[in-house]
């Protein structure tokens, strides 16, 4: 016998905000992953400013689930729109 699945209700808290990030940094320890989102702005040839605006802690299990979701969605995107090419490391699109 299969147990019934709970009904999932998605809600946005009063603190919910949409934003754009072109910088993602990740720190890892034994208990969790810390994902920090920011906006990268290269102000000159030798200066890159990153304004971090949101950090999110996730469990290792949620990090792995997120990895799977991202892989699936990137594959679907590339199938529809073509390969996503990454910039050279010193270019825009900072991921650490």
Residues 23-34: tens digit of each pLDDT: 999 999 999 999
pLDDT in tens, 30-64: 999 999 999 999 989 999 999 999 999 999 999 99
User: Token digits for 54?
Assistant: 């949101």
Neighbouring C-beta atoms of residue 87, cutoff 10 Å = 10
For the chain, give every domain's residue range: 23-84
Full-model pTM: 0.76
């Amino acid at each position: 016998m299969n147990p019934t699945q709970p009904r999932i209700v998605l809600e946005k808290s009063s603190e919910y905000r949409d934003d754009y990030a072109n910088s993602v940094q990740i720190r890892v320890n034994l208990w969790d992953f810390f994902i920090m989102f920011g906006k990268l702005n290269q102000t000159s040839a030798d200066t890159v400013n990153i304004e971090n605006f949101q950090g999110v802690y996730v469990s290792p299990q949620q990090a792995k689930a997120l990895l799977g979701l991202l892989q699936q969605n990137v594959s679907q995107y590339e199938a529809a729109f073509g390969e996503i090419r990454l910039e050279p490391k010193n270019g825009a699109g900072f991921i650490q």
